[in-house]
Structure 1
Amino acid sequence: MSAGVSTKNRSRMSVNTIAKVSILGALAFLVMLFEIPLPFAPAFYKLGFDEVIVLIGGFALGPWAAVCIEALKIALNLLFNGTITAGTGELSNFLIGLAFVLPATFVYHQNKTRKNACIGLIYGTISMTIMGGLINYFIILPAYSFFMKIPLDALIAMGTAINPNINGLLAFVLLSTVPFNLLKGVLVSLIVFISYKKVSPVIKKQ
């Protein structure tokens, strides 16, 4: 009898968790639609706060849930907004997102304290900044140039117009992409750090 009850409870918990992941993924997608341009980056770099939802979900439900929320968010964006880079942009954004949320949620779940949350968010920000720089240099910017039929030099010129020190692809990444991801990581981390304890009871509620 107890085994049957236990199995039933696990099944109910599983369905409950899937529902939460689905809701958080959809919410992250909606937040993703609202982005802010930044003065130090070209117009195609816009700051969004969708990772706040992914991180809060990951802190509450675990790293695997963060992966699922991130994947669902990207899939919904691909479904409703399409792609201009044959999926390379979406895949790159997924990998950059994971580079942020996985270290943060993994560290936090080792010991669920405010200190560990802070450490995890710092690790995640650094990881995302490095991954974002590498992926932009090797994948996103070349793919954007190829599929949009815009010469890479023209993309770099957009950066040069904002910062005269940007005189090549590497300088573009170091002076535009890296600060963009670093600022995003810091702002998102602050929001998550301040708000998580207030909203987590709602997510964890069975």
Structure 2
Amino acid sequence: MKLSFPKLKEHKSMSKTQRMTSIAILASCSMLLYYFKIPLPFFPPFLTLDLSDIPALIGAITMGPLAGILVQFVKNIVEYVLHGSYVGFPVGQFANFISGSLIAGLIGWFYFYRKKLDWTSYGISTLIFLAAMYALNYYFILPSIMSLLGLSMEEYTASFAQFNPMVKDMRTAVLFVILPFNLIKISMVYLIGIPFTFKLVRILQKRSVAI
């Protein structure tokens, strides 16, 4: 499958109002997609996939990496206000924000500064994403959830070991469960979201609709 994209045809600059409106629309789409979760076999039920990062990807490619990050920020703020967190503190929303911001922001950065997307862009973005998520999960997210739920290390890692017998501790839980899940997540978003974004923008440009 071809995943190399050149710079899109230039269009007139968007006003601040147009940019904020576009970000709000994309954030709304992201929030709707967030509720359609896809469970994965061989993974704990609390790890599910969704397509809510694609609107942020659209924003990052068309308006720059900051726009994609703002879409993720709005989505997670509204999600926490409406539904709260099962552990009280918004650890899940924070993790989703960081994860989605890296997925969209890295590709947005490569596109705006290299003027194209190719296999180098995807490879470097994926490696940075996985390294960041390993550190974030190992040092902050999983320990925070474990502490807030009042679980011991053995009790918490047992929920991962049920699905992967290679899990013995926190490090192996991240290495053998969280990282494979994140690799599937970023691959799905890039494989679906990037071709869709370029096709959508070309259609809108032909119809002279600013995005």
Q: Which bracket does the TM-score occupy, shorter chain normalised?
A: 0.7 to 0.9
Distance (whole Å) between structure 2 residues aligned to residue 65 and residue 147 of structure 1: 32
**5+ residue gaps, structure 2:** 1-11
For the residue of structure 1 that corresponds to 2:15, the secondary structure is: helix
Shift of 1:61: 1.1
Q: Which residue is 1:205 aligned to?
A: 209
Alignment-derived partner of residue 185 in structure 2: 184
Please say if 1:175 is aligned against 2:179: no
1:3 aligns to what?
none
Residue by residue over 1:178-204, the C-alpha shift from the partner in whole angstroms, topping out at 9 and shown as x without a partner, is 000011111111012321221124498
**1:98-117, aligned counterparts within 5 Å?**
98-115=101-118
Partner Cα distance (1:114, 1:146) in 2:
41
Query: Is 1:25–1:73's contact at 8 Å kept on the other side of the alignment?
Result: yes
Give the deviation of 1:34 after TM superposition: 1.5
Residue 16 of structure 1 aligns to which amino acid in structure 2? Answer: Q
Whether the 8 Å contact between 1:74 and 1:94 is mirrored in structure 2 is yes
1:85 to partner: Cα distance: 4.2
Report what 1:165 is aligned to. 166
Considering fraction of residues, name the structure with more helix.
1
Of the three residues 55, 58, 62, the one matched with 2:57 is 55
Calculate percent identity across the aligned residue pairs.
Answer: 24
Native 8 Å contact 2:160 2:167 kept in 1: yes
For the aligned residue pairs, the C-alpha RMSD in angstroms reads 2.1
Which 5+ residue runs of structure 1 have no aligned equivalent? 1-8
Shift of 1:20: 0.5
Q: Which amino acid in structure 2 is aligned with residue 143 of structure 1? A: S
Residue 93 of structure 1 aligns to a residue whose secondary structure is helix
Cα displacement (A) at 1:114:
4.4
1:61 corresponds to which letter in structure 2?
M
Q: CA contact under 8 A between 1:141 and 1:152: conserved in structure 2?
A: no
* 4+ long deviations beyond 6 Å: none
In the superposition, the TM-score normalised over structure 1's length comes to: 0.85
